[in-house]
């Protein structure tokens, strides 16, 4: 769960009038209901489901609030609480304490961030900004990683950085009036599905169109 799961009320002027539900309802009622249902469906088909969670910029309480005060984090903890005993050792939550989290699959490190830390998107997807951050995070993030995953930009993309790769996920959001008006950006809802092999690491990446 890569952040911006909750749409805040005070990120830009008038935002509270453009969202369908209050942040309380999103983070404590509607969101947990949706993700509890989804995670229980996954757990019915897999012996173990690891849920890794990082916060996004739209979950902030306001531009001036502490970074830890983030409604995405409230949603994650609420969802874990909703699941409760139904997790039964088969669903495990890892909620990031900082802006990043490293998930290991067959020993390969996957660096997860929301992506708003990447700058330079004034002319479309920030290829240079993403590469600059990725190279910097090799040393700045204390845990070793091979693959970088982020969202934020609402468009899917992939780039190769030597022996590392970086993926921008799409978004499950199909319509956003602010993005349409201010950024002239809207697109199909998409998500990535990747497969790992114990010997070779990541062996396949698929883009799922949710329409």
Q: Tens digit of pLDDT for each residue in 138-148?
A: 999 999 999 99
Task: Give residue 183's pLDDT.
Answer: 61
User: Tell me, what's the pLDDT at 184?
Assistant: 66
Q: Give the Cα separation of 80 and 95 in Å (integer).
A: 10
For the record, the structure tokens of 170 come out as 């799409």
**pLDDT above 70 covers what percent of the chain?**
89
pLDDT of residue 18: 76
Mean pLDDT, all residues of the chain: 90
Lowest mean pLDDT among 59-68, 117-126, 131-140, 178-187: 178-187
Q: Is the pLDDT of residue 94 over 90?
A: yes
Q: What are the CA-CA distances from residue 68 to residues 61, 112, 165, 167 (Å)?
A: 9, 17, 29, 25
3-state DSSP assignment of residue 91: strand
CA 53 to chain centre: 7
- pLDDT at position 124 over 80: no
Return the closest-CA partner of residue 125 out of 56, 189, 183, 188. 183
pLDDT band, residue 20 (cuts 50/70/90): confident
CA separation for the pair 11, 23 (Å, rounded): 12
Instruction: Give the up-direction half-sphere exposure of residue 114: CA atoms within 13 A in the CB hemisphere.
Output: 22
pLDDT for position 120: 83
Would you state the pLDDT for residue 62? Answer: 77
* pTM for this predicted structure: 0.91
What's the pLDDT score for residue 178? 66
Percent of the chain whose predicted confidence (pLDDT) is above 90: 70
Q: Has residue 26 got a pLDDT over 70?
A: yes
| 145-169 mean pLDDT | 94
Q: How many alpha carbons fall within 13 Å on the CB side of residue 182?
A: 7
In 3-state terms, what secondary structure has residue 205?
Answer: strand
Q: What is the pLDDT of residue 154?
A: 85
pLDDT at residue 122 above 70? Answer: no
Beta bridge mates, 112: 101, 149
């Amino acid at each position: 769960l890569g952040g911006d799961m909750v749409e805040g009320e005070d990120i830009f002027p008038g935002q509270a009038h453009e969202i369908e539900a209050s942040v309380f309802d999103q983070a404590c009622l509607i969101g947990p209901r949706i993700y509890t249902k989804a995670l229980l469906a996954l757990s019915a088909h897999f012996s173990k489901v690891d849920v890794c969670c990082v916060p996004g910029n739209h979950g902030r309480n306001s531009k001036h609030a502490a970074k830890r005060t983030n409604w995405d984090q409230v949603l994650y903890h609420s969802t874990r609480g909703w699941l409760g005993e139904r997790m039964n050792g088969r669903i495990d939550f890892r909620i990031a304490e900082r802006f990043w989290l490293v998930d290991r699959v067959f020993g390969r490190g996957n660096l997860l961030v929301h992506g708003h830390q990447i700058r330079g998107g004034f002319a479309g997807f920030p290829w240079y900004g993403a590469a600059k951050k990725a190279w910097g995070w090799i040393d700045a993030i204390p845990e070793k990683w091979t693959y970088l995953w982020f969202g934020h930009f609402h468009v899917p993309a992939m780039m190769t950085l030597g022996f590392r790769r970086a993926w921008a996920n799409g978004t499950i959001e199909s319509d956003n009036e602010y993005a349409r008006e201010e950024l002239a950006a809207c697109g199909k809802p998409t998500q990535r599905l990747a497969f790992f092999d114990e010997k070779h690491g990541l062996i396949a990446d698929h883009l799922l169109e949710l329409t």
